[in-house]
Amino acid sequence: MAAAGASAPANGYVPPKVLATQPAFPPKRTGAAFADCRDCPEMVVIAPGTFIEGSSARERKALGVLPMFDRMESPRHRVTIGYRYAVSRYEVTFDEWDACVADGGCNGYKPNDAGWGRGRRPVINVNFADAQAYVEWLSRHTGQRYRLPSEAEWSYAARGGVQTWYPWGNALRPEDASFGNHNDRTSQVGSYRPNGFGLHDVVGNVAEWVQDCHHDDYIGAPADGSAWFTGPCTLRNVRGGGWSLQGWSIRLSQRIGDPPGARNDHLGFRVVRELAQD
């Protein structure tokens, strides 16, 4: 277990440096990085594309997905995202959240860091409304349109071009992600190798709020990348799993609904920035 304030686990991966310069305009090249301000999240450009959302019965059976969660990942369906967008390379950090508070945003809320330290650790103890307050501040601060990702946008970006169970294949190892309570807490963002699109911690570390209302299956889900807002919306979707969870709970296909008011040390988020289309 890592000591309080420890940084990256000893997995042989050297985290990249924080982006030091910002281009005048967001680049169009897939995978290119930019930031709209010094304290803004580093963003990665995601190209249009098509992928299969959901998991196979083989995957769920092999990993022992509990019956009550099995139907949430089916039926598998094709989703086509016909536009470019940008996703934050990392989960939003305490540094970025605290910059929002210092600027008068985020309703002045200062989440508890559980004694693990702030800085480059992902912000925790933030509920759905807190995440919305952050993207509203970020949009005002930059003059750009920031928001939470839709579930489909999250899935497409998190997959990074693969259809495997995890970003790196069908097996899960401690050197791949922060999961299974190996570190006894969150890890600094960027402590593990990125996926194929250059995004870090898409599984493990903290689970991530997305825009969509939770549904118990994919019947009727949008196929164009848009968020799914129909239904009672008593729960909001959460993706990616957290630092103490095990194998099947942090797969790319795993999805669950949480009460929008939930605040705990497993919940965080990443952001999307809308891009002008050609």
**Percent residues over pLDDT 70 in the chain:** 90
Is omega for the bond preceding 9 within 30 degrees of 0, making it cis? no
- What CATH code is carried by the domain that includes residue 143? 3.90.1580.10
Residue 96 belongs to a domain: yes
pLDDT reported for residue 66 = 87
Please report the sign of the dihedral spanned by the C-alpha atoms of residue 14, residue 43, residue 91, residue 204.
Answer: negative
Residue 224 belongs to a domain: yes
Judged against a pLDDT cut of 90, whether residue 201 lies above it is answered with yes
Q: Pick the closest to residue 204 from 156, 236, 242 (CA basis).
A: 242
Judged against a pLDDT cut of 90, whether residue 96 lies above it is answered with yes
Residue 137 belongs to a domain: yes
Tens of pLDDT, residues 3-33: 334 444 556 666 555 555 455 566 667 788 9
Name the token pair of 198: 């250059």
pLDDT reported for residue 117 = 97
**What is the spatial distance between Cα 218 and Cα 66, in angstroms, rounded to a whole number?**
17
What DSSP string describes 9-41?
-SSS--PPPPP----SS---STT-EE-SSTTSP
Residue 19 belongs to a domain: no
Q: Which structural domain range is residue 44 located in?
A: 33-274
**DSSP symbol at 72:** G
φ/ψ region of 28 (left if φ > 0, alpha if ψ in -120 to 50, else beta) reads alpha
Number of domains in the chain: 1
Q: Pick the closest to residue 131 from 166, 167, 88 (CA basis).
A: 88
186 CB contacts (<8 Å, ≥6 apart)? 116, 121, 122, 124, 178, 205, 206, 243, 265
Residue 23 belongs to a domain: no
**Could you tell me the maximum CA-CA distance found in the chain, to the nearest angstrom?**
50
Tens of pLDDT, residues 224-258: 999 999 989 999 999 999 999 987 899 999 999 99
Residue 17 belongs to a domain: no
Give me the mean pLDDT over the 96-114 stretch.
98
CA angle 190, 82, 258 (to 5 degrees): 55
Average confidence score pLDDT of the chain: 91
Query: Model's pTM, two decimal places?
Result: 0.92
**What is the spatial distance between Cα 208 and Cα 204, in angstroms, rounded to a whole number?**
10
Residue 167 belongs to a domain: yes
Residue 24 belongs to a domain: no
86 CB contacts (<8 Å, ≥6 apart)? 26, 34, 43, 44, 45, 46, 272, 273, 275
Tens of pLDDT, residues 154-182: 999 999 999 999 999 999 999 999 999 99
pLDDT reported for residue 79 = 98
**What is the spatial distance between Cα 204 and Cα 206, in angstroms, rounded to a whole number?**
6
Residue 150 buriedness (CB in 10 A; 0-12 / 13-18 / 19+):
buried
